[in-house]
Amino acid sequence: MADISFLILVFFLMVSTMDKEEGLSRRLPPLPSEDQKVEDQKVNRRNIIQVKINSNDRLYAGSEMMDVSQLKDKIKEFLTNPYDDPNLPEKEMREIAGLGQYPVSKGVISLQNDRGTSYSKYIEVQNELVKAINELRDQFAMQQYGKKFIKLDETKQEIVRKAIPQSISEAEPKDVKKK
Amino acid sequence: MARFIKNDKKETPAISTASLPDIVFMMLMFFMVSVSMRSTDRMVQVRVPQATEVAKLERKELCSYIYIGTPTPTYQAQYGTESRIQLNDSFRSTDEIRDFIAAERDNLSEVDRPFMTVSIKADQDTRMGIITDVKQQLRRCSALKIMYGARKAGKAK
């Protein structure tokens, strides 16, 4: 009996994979339809931050070159705009069910990469962007409910998600020139 | 004083193996429950990059996989060392992704189709060019929910 079970056990050990499905979730933008006008997509300049990675894995955010470690704070400043700087994104009062009026930032992060960018760098930058947004959500959740975002229930999470949207747009592929 | 005479012949009894089948069975059950079957042979080498903010995939059965990486040594003679795309059990070009997605979508029930996720498992040394191509193809066949495969790194980076 034990022998047979051992055999089956070994079989399962061989054929199985233990790796968990983990990763960064994203939604791709739908392809623009033919008749859609380009003007519709024009966003106010102050509402957009361009994060570019060139083929040498150099990172540019806004117009300045920076290290990945600085990106998170830059993004957080961009999305919160604490001093209502006219160069940073405007906020729009939006009615959120269950919360009331809340100034939601209209900022959009536009991520561009070159064909030569390495995937690990790209993920590293994506990760920093998500981290910035997660930290803002945590902060907001702490203020409103005194709990971290993950520990809130589904409806409250939805409210937080509406208040601080994850607005990362992966731009149309475009070659980022070496600067 | 017989009590103090050492009995040299006394040995420790053999460990009873009567419970061995039970233990093995328990492990067997654990593995059967916890594993997912390896459904396809990996033909490309994939070491997914690290990230700290990974989220878990909620429903595995709604997920299709696209592997991108250099072919494993056995296939390198035939396919070279350039990054390739693997769908199911063979190397494919970017144009064939559309058929693959359509087939995967057909396998799902009507209600689940909007929730289909495409998991891109790309090697960390892959160039973005090929991934951009894949993304464009996915957009073209409106499989917009994607996930970049990554493994969780420790908090201290």
- Looking at the predicted structure, is the pLDDT value of residue A178 above 60? no
- Partner-chain contact A26 B146, CB within 8 Å: yes
| A16: contact with B, CB 8 A cutoff | yes
The pLDDT > 70 percentage for chain B reads 87
Query: What pLDDT sits at residue A147?
Result: 85
Residue B49 lies in a domain: yes
Residue A127 lies in a domain: yes
Cβ-based contacts under 8 A for chains A and B: 146
- Partner-chain contact B128 A30, CB within 8 Å: no
Domain count across chain B: 1
Measured distance CA(B87)–CA(B42) in Å, rounded: 10
Query: What pLDDT sits at residue B125?
Result: 85
Q: Name the residue among B104, B118, B120 with its Cα closest to residue B69.
A: B120
Closest CB from B20, B21, B132 relative to A115:
B132
Query: What pLDDT sits at residue B157?
Result: 37
Residue B87 lies in a domain: yes
- Looking at the predicted structure, is the pLDDT value of residue A177 above 60? no
| Per-residue pLDDT reduced to its tens digit, B68-95 | 888 888 888 888 888 888 887 788 888 8
A87: closest CA of chain B, how far (Å): 29
Residue B50 lies in a domain: yes
- Looking at the predicted structure, is the pLDDT value of residue A175 above 60? no
Query: What pLDDT sits at residue B156?
Result: 40
CB–CB of B67/B84 below 8 Å? Answer: no
Domain count across chain A: 1
| Residue A160 CB coordination number (10 Å) | 20
- Residue A108's domain comprises 42-170
B77 burial type by CB count under 10 A (0-12 exposed, 13-18 middle, 19+ buried): exposed
Q: Which pTM value belongs to this model?
A: 0.75
Mutate to test the interface with B, among A22, A31, A157 (most CBs of B within 10 A): A22
Query: What pLDDT sits at residue A108?
Result: 83
The pLDDT > 70 percentage for chain A reads 85
Q: Mean pLDDT throughout A81-103?
A: 78
Measured distance CA(A32)–CA(B47) in Å, rounded: 33
Query: What pLDDT sits at residue A179?
Result: 37
Category of A161 on φ-ψ map: left (φ > 0), alpha (ψ -120 to 50) or beta? alpha
A35: closest CA of chain B, how far (Å): 16
- Partner-chain contact A5 B125, CB within 8 Å: no
Angle, vertex CA A123, rays to CA B83 and CA A136, nearest 5: 165
Residue A164 lies in a domain: yes
CB–CB of B66/B78 below 8 Å? Answer: no
Residue B36 lies in a domain: no
- Looking at the predicted structure, is the pLDDT value of residue A154 above 70? yes
Average per-residue pLDDT in chain B?
81
CATH number at residue B111: 3.30.420.270
Residue A7 lies in a domain: no
Bridge-partner residues for A65, per DSSP? A60
